[in-house]
A = this chain, B = another copy of it.
Amino acid sequence: MSNELKDNKVSKPKRKGSKITPLPITHHASQPLNVVLDTSLFVNPDVRTSLGSNPTEALETFLFLAAQIHVLEFYMPPSIFEELLHFVERDKIPAELLLILHQKPPKKHELKTPAFLLYELIEDIRERVNKGLRVAEKAVRSAESKKADEIIQDMRRKYREALREGIIDSKEDVDLLLLAMELDALLITADHGLIKWAEKLGIRWLFPEKFKEYLMSAIKRTELIKKSLAHEPVP
């Protein structure tokens, strides 16, 4: 190392004390993490089970847990909230819901998305449209031997699979993505299309089956903070 470089070291600001004090845990608590939730967490049977045997139960469990959490703020776009209400017994859900789960639409006229995503979306759609046509062609060919009604039932399912699965295909999907972008939030959903797009947009996301675990550890952290606050001397 040259002398010049050594001398440069001298100009660094000196620490005021020798002991390094860690940031108090309360510091984190002052900025809770935003979390955006999708209906699929309460409705999709594969994901919901840890919370309840039906959507209403799952939502009740969530509310019970969320009420004990001070380190997270839960959000849902109104369009998704409306969807959720179709699946639950409304009179069983406590009004607390409105306080715990904030409803907020994204600022869709202020937000911007990277232009290269347009290419990916359009390429994706193009491929799907072609797949849809193949499905339709097969159906027409099989109509020579089977009845039209049977074939159409089967074709509808296959066509929808080809064109919709793993893609963002609704206003509600866009709402979730943009709200998560706007709030720099964690997105929790069981929808693969949404997760794929969260990846593209740099939105953090959580494996949906970890949702309950995540809530449980948020409760633990809240309790830790409460304890540390109780022991702190009043200034």
Q: Which A residues are closer than 8 A to B by beta carbons?
A: 106, 108-116, 118-119, 121-123, 125-126, 129, 132-133, 135-137, 139-141, 143-144, 148, 151-152, 155-156, 159-160, 163-164, 168-171, 173-174, 178, 181
Contact = CB atoms under 8 A, between A and B. Distances in A.
A135 B135 CA distance: 12
Contact of A119 (B108, B110, B116, B151): B108
Given A133-B156, A143-B148, A114 B122 contact: no
A158 to B, nearest CB: 10
A121 B171 CA distance: 10
A152 B171 contact: no
Given A125-B125, A139-B140, A109 B116 contact: yes
A129 B132 contact: yes
A174 to B, nearest CB: 5
